[in-house]
Amino acid sequence: MTLSVITFCVILPLCCHRLVYSYYFLKSMHLDSMSEDVLRESLEEGQDALRFWQSAPATASAKFGEMAQNPELLVTVVTARRNEGRDFHYLLRVMRRISGLVRGCGERPCAEVLLCDVESGPQQNQDAMLLESHFRVVRRPPQEQRTNGGQINVFEKEKQDYVFCLRKGWELVKPRNVVVLEDDALPRQDFFTVVKDLLSRRFALHTLYIKLYHPERLQRYWNPEPYRILEWVGLGLVGATALLLAVSHWNPCSFSFSLSAGHLLFFTLYFMLVAELFGRHYLLEARRISPQFYAVSPATECCTPAMLFPGNASVRAAEYLDGSFCVKGNAKDMVIYQMARTIPGETSHSVEPNLVTHIGAYSSVRANPSRPKLL
């Protein structure tokens, strides 16, 4: 009882009250100020990326416009003009990071890069136009959009745009593998290293897609995903066993703990509760030590900011998506998730921790609050 009170009422609240994805996060005290700090930092980085691309000589990046046929990996970035948050220049930040990572691969690029601009309104995507002299840019003609009774909802348009970009990338260079990023998915520094490792694993030959991002707020153990419950119990058992074995060999404080069934059960539940309240998201960060430590599990439903399609899976995914009509509650992420679950022979996976950071506080397709929050 003493250990539980000290841990859950003193230590964890003191350590975790500023951790956004912890149960102990004090929203009333920290959410507004932390959200404003993130927005300010994001704006500064966006303006810095704008200055970078405005001053970058086109000749230094000309090779990005010359795409080789049958590359090992094609990275397609899907972008549209944002009516709100334009000054944050998410696309310019993403493309700056990608160009740096590709250059860091050595003389032989680790990926070809394609920018797919799906803006079809009267106002152009200024950020995409700025990048035309540095990357290959393709655009979707407005007349290609299909309508349903003369009207098209935002979720169906988003899906049609995604399908166009999937097919266009395949038609242009016939890549061996495809990564599709939305324009606010910022790759981490080890992005290409981990993607290469994932493609070398046997499961990649038999999967429709691998999700490279899942929202941090949905990564908790207390979750409908069965594998997380097994991971949670396993973590508790390992922690409890290690502690009780350590106490049996070295016990300077003369604790009465022993490797008994009762103590094993107590400490299993103890470590499980500590892990959940602290935040699974933060525990997952330890896996970044090596690409081999990244966990692969069955895919979850939500969100498609970053997707890896091994082999010709991007063609199959485009066909599946094209056969469904998207509406609110049945957007493209839900459609492709259900397809992978119901079509014989298809599977889908997720990788943890995330390989991209979702920097888009302002959405290009949904209504936005005046000042977005972290949660």
pLDDT > 90: percent of the chain: 73
Q: From residue 58, how far is each of 46, 49, 65, 246 by CA, in Å? A: 20, 15, 10, 61
Least confident piece of the model among 98-107, 227-236, 252-261: 252-261
**In the structure encoding, which two tokens stand for residue 156, read together?**
């169906």
Find tokens 């899976």 and name the residue. Answer: 313
Q: From residue 42, how far is each of 25, 37, 89, 126, 306 by CA, in Å? A: 22, 8, 9, 19, 20
pLDDT value of residue 223:
81
- The stretch 170-178 carries a mean pLDDT of 95
The whole-angstrom separation of Cα 148 and Cα 281 is 41
Find tokens 């009762």 and name the residue. Answer: 262
For the entire predicted model, the pTM comes to 0.92
pLDDT value of residue 141:
79
- The stretch 11-39 carries a mean pLDDT of 96
Closest CA to 4 of 280, 284, 281, 272: 272
Residue 259: pLDDT band with limits 50, 70, 90: confident
**In the structure encoding, which two tokens stand for residue 268, read together?**
């299993």
pLDDT value of residue 146:
56
Find tokens 């060999």 and name the residue. Answer: 249
The secondary structure of 118-167 as a DSSP string is ---SSS--HHHHHTTTTSEEEE--GGG---BTTB--HHHHHHHHHHHHHH
Residue 64 pLDDT more than 70? no
Residue 226: pLDDT band with limits 50, 70, 90: confident
pLDDT value of residue 306:
97
Residue 75: pLDDT band with limits 50, 70, 90: very high
Q: Which are the contacts of 57, defined by CB distance < 8 A and separation ≥ 6?
A: none
- The stretch 321-341 carries a mean pLDDT of 93
Find tokens 């299909």 and name the residue. Answer: 146
Closest CA to 296 of 255, 347, 247, 261: 347
Residue 274 pLDDT more than 90? yes
Homologous superfamily of 38-219+285-358 = Spore Coat Polysaccharide Biosynthesis Protein SpsA; Chain A (3.90.550.10)
Residue 151 pLDDT more than 80? no
Task: Please say whether the dihedral angle defined by the alpha carbons of residues 142, 164, 125 and 119, taken in this order, is positive or negative.
Answer: positive
Angle formed by the axes of helices 332-342 and 313-322, to 10°? 110
Residue 109: pLDDT band with limits 50, 70, 90: confident
Dihedral Cα 290, 293, 298, 299, nearest 10 deg: -30
Q: Which are the contacts of 362, defined by CB distance < 8 A and separation ≥ 6?
A: 82, 84, 85, 88, 368, 372
- Cα Rg, the chain, nearest whole Å: 23
Q: From residue 117, how far is each of 16, 122, 182, 329, 368 by CA, in Å? A: 41, 14, 11, 25, 21
- The stretch 315-342 carries a mean pLDDT of 93
| Distance, C-alpha 147 to centroid of its chain | 30
Element (H, E) at 343: none
- The stretch 135-161 carries a mean pLDDT of 78
The whole-angstrom separation of Cα 118 and Cα 192 is 25
Residue 61: pLDDT band with limits 50, 70, 90: very low
pLDDT value of residue 145:
59
Residue 142 pLDDT more than 90? no
The whole-angstrom separation of Cα 184 and Cα 95 is 10
- The stretch 1-27 carries a mean pLDDT of 96
Average pLDDT, the chain: 90
pLDDT digits (tens, 9 = 90+) for 153-164: 889 999 999 999
Dihedral Cα 240, 246, 249, 252, nearest 10 deg: -110
Q: What's the per-residue H, E or C state across 248-293?
A: HHCCCCCCCCCCCHHHHHHHHHHHHHHHHHHCHHHHHHHHHHCHHH
pLDDT value of residue 254:
63
- The stretch 233-251 carries a mean pLDDT of 89
Domains of the chain, residue spans: 38-219+285-358
pLDDT value of residue 121:
63
